[in-house]
Copies of this chain bind each other. A is one copy, B any other.
Amino acid sequence: MIKKGLLLAGLCLSFSSFSPLEEGMFPLSELHKVDLQKAGLKIPLNAIYNPDGTSLVQALVRVGGCTGSFVSNEGLIITNHHCAFGAVASASDPEHDYITEGFMAGERSKEIKTSIHARITESYEDISARVLEGLEVISDPSQRSMKLSENIALVQKQEEKAHPDLLIEVSEMLQGKSYTLFRYKELKDIRLVYVPPRSVGEFGGESDNWVWPRHTGDFSFMRAYVGKDGQPAEYAEDNIPYTPKKFLKINPNGVKENDFVFILGYPGRTYRNQPAQFLEYQYKYQLPFISQWFDYRIEQMEDLGREDKALAIAFASPIKRLANVTKNYKGKMQGLQRTSIIQDRQRDDEAMQAMVARDPKLKEQYGNLFPDIARIYNEKLATAQRDLWLGQVFSSSGLMFASGYVGSLQEAFKDVKKAEQDSFIRTQLSDKSGEILKNSSISNAELEKRILKKLLEYGAMLPETQRPASLQLFASAKDIKEAISEFVDNNYDKSLFSHTTKFKEMLTDKPGKLLKVKDPFMEIATDLWNHLRAFQQAETKRQDELSILIPKMIDLRQIYQKSTFLPDANSTLRFTYGYIRGYSPADAEVHQPFTHVKGVLQKAATGGDYFLEDYIQELLATADPMSIVCFLYNLDTTGGNSGSPIMDAEGNLVGVNFDRAYTATINDFAWNEEYSRSIGVDIRYVLLIVKQLGKGEHLLKEMGV
> Which A residues contact B (CB, under 8 angstroms)?
212-213, 215, 303, 306, 334, 337-338, 582, 586-596, 598-599, 602, 605-606
Contacts and interface: CB of A to CB of B under 8 A. Distances in A.
B588 A599 contact: yes
Contact of A587 (B337, B587, B589, B596): B596
B605 A598 contact: no
Contacts of A593: 588
A595 B338 CA distance: 17
A592 B589 contact: yes
Contact of A586 (B337, B582, B586, B602): B602
Nearest to A590: B590
Contact of A602 (B587, B590, B594, B605): B587
A540 to B, nearest CB: 36
Contact of A213 (B338, B589, B594, B598): B589
B599 A592 contact: no
Q: Which 9 A-B pairs have the closest CB atoms?
A: A587-B599, A213-B588, A590-B590, A588-B592, A588-B595, A587-B595, A587-B596, A337-B605, A213-B587
> How often does this chain occur in the complex, in copies?
2
A595 B586 CA distance: 10
Contact of A588 (B338, B586, B588, B591): B591
Contacts of A213: 586-589
Contacts of A592: 588-590
Nearest to A303: B306
A334 B590 CA distance: 21
Contacts of A590: 589-592
A337 B603 CA distance: 11
A605 B605 CA distance: 33
A582 B590 CA distance: 11
A587 B591 contact: no
Contacts of A589: 213, 589-592
A37 to B, nearest CB: 31
A31 to B, nearest CB: 32
Nearest to A595: B588
A307 to B, nearest CB: 9
Contacts of A591: 588-590
A573 to B, nearest CB: 31
A590 B215 CA distance: 16
A597 to B, nearest CB: 9
Contacts of A606: 334
A428 B485 CA distance: 52
A520 to B, nearest CB: 26
A213 B594 CA distance: 21
Contacts of A582: 588
A274 to B, nearest CB: 24
A306 B300 CA distance: 11
B586 A596 contact: no
8 contacts: A337-B605, A582-B588, A586-B602, A587-B595, A587-B596, A588-B596, A589-B590, A590-B592
Interface centre among A337, A587, A599, A606 (most CB of B within 10 A): A587
Contacts of A334: 605-606
A589 B214 CA distance: 11
A686 to B, nearest CB: 18
Contacts of A337: 605
Contacts of A215: 587
A582 B589 CA distance: 10
A586 B212 CA distance: 11
A213 B587 CA distance: 7
A685 to B, nearest CB: 13
A593 B590 CA distance: 11
A617 to B, nearest CB: 13
Contacts of A212: 588
A595 B606 CA distance: 28
Given A303-B306, A306-B303, A605-B337, A594 B588 contact: yes
Nearest to A597: B587
A602 B663 CA distance: 13
Nearest to A214: B588
Given A334-B605, A587-B595, A589-B589, 8 more contacts: A213-B586, A337-B605, A587-B596, A587-B598, A588-B594, A588-B599, A589-B592, A590-B591
Given A303-B306, A306-B303, A338 B602 contact: yes
A583 to B, nearest CB: 11
Nearest to A625: B587
Nearest to A606: B334
Nearest to A584: B592
Nearest to A337: B605
A345 to B, nearest CB: 20
A678 to B, nearest CB: 15
A594 B589 CA distance: 10
Contacts of A306: 303
A587 to B, nearest CB: 3
A677 to B, nearest CB: 12
A591 B588 CA distance: 6
A592 B337 CA distance: 23
A605 B215 CA distance: 29
Nearest to A587: B599
A591 B598 CA distance: 18
A312 to B, nearest CB: 14
A594 B582 CA distance: 19
A64 to B, nearest CB: 30
A593 B338 CA distance: 22
A212 B589 CA distance: 9
A362 B213 CA distance: 52
Contacts of A594: 588
A599 B588 CA distance: 8
Nearest to A632: B588
Nearest to A585: B589
A606 B333 CA distance: 10
A665 B12 CA distance: 53
Contacts of A303: 306
Contacts of A596: 587-588
A77 B592 CA distance: 42
A586 B589 CA distance: 12
A339 B586 CA distance: 27
A590 B585 CA distance: 11
A447 B5 CA distance: 68
A336 to B, nearest CB: 11
A306 B303 CA distance: 9
